[in-house]
Structure 1
Amino acid sequence: MRVLHGLEEIFAAKGSLLGTSDWVTVDQARIDAFAGATGDHQWIHVDPERAAAGPFGATIAHGYLTLSLLPMFMVAVYRVEGARMAVNYGLNKVRFVTPVRVGSRLRGSTELVDAQPLDGATAQLVFRTTVEIEGAERPACVAETVSRQYFGD
């Protein structure tokens, strides 16, 4: 895990790969739980029998389920020391490149693309996380996220 100590180290890390998480398996239980939480019960996600005869040969994870794994991947690869809090500010770009078939293993590699000071105690950070599928040539997802780190009182 990469530890960034304060604003100076954050700005120095701009443009670098922060790390790659461990693998996580996307099983049908996770897909079903996500469908329940979001109300998206499309058959390609929750009906294994029908999905087996569909275009992907099995159920697939929701794209937004894959996206929702980013915090888990990111927290596994870096930590900012000295920040009193961090908030999500938004997304610049998200692409769902390859469907995630049930049973796939995913991991995330996170790069600090940009880091800008907003005032003396706040930084806006842009991360690019590439979500890999074990054994696949192309990633499941590439997402550029924006967060703000708050330091001081």
Structure 2
Amino acid sequence: MKNPPAKPSQLITKEFARQLNVNYNNKKASLSAKREQKEDANAIWYSLEELENYIHYIKTNGAKDGYNVDGIRFYFGVYPDDEAHGEKAGLTTLFLVPTGKKAKSNTEQVQSFALMQEMSSDIQSLEPMNYGNIGRPPSLLY
């Protein structure tokens, strides 16, 4: 391989990604009951270089794991309310998870031609990406 991808510095564990998403779902469900005292993020930004590096990383490593990587799913999350996360504690985040399908042999491709429309699933063997720049303060307007 000529140019192996650098492992992106924003990778997080699958467990932490799940925790962020559960926190987001729980927090957003209770927002109507109480007002937050901190201004939350309303936008997340990644540089083109970070995104291109992540795409290169997931395509290369997904292929090694036997996947045809075909996309990225974006999940909302909320950082845990503890001091380890500093000013981000309790705030919204967005993390990226590669999607794809297991690569099939030529025989399997012919046999499963009718199933070509199957939905891509999250690739659990690759790390999600997080730590973009949040749009606060002040909140960004779209």
Structure-1-length-normalised TM-score: 0.26
Q: Comparing both chains, which one has the higher relative contact order based on Cα–Cα distances under 8 Å and sequence gaps of 6 or more?
A: 2
If each structure's helix is expressed as a fraction of its own residues, which one has the higher value? Answer: 2
TM-score (norm 2): 0.27
Write 1 or 2 for the structure with the bigger share of strand: 1
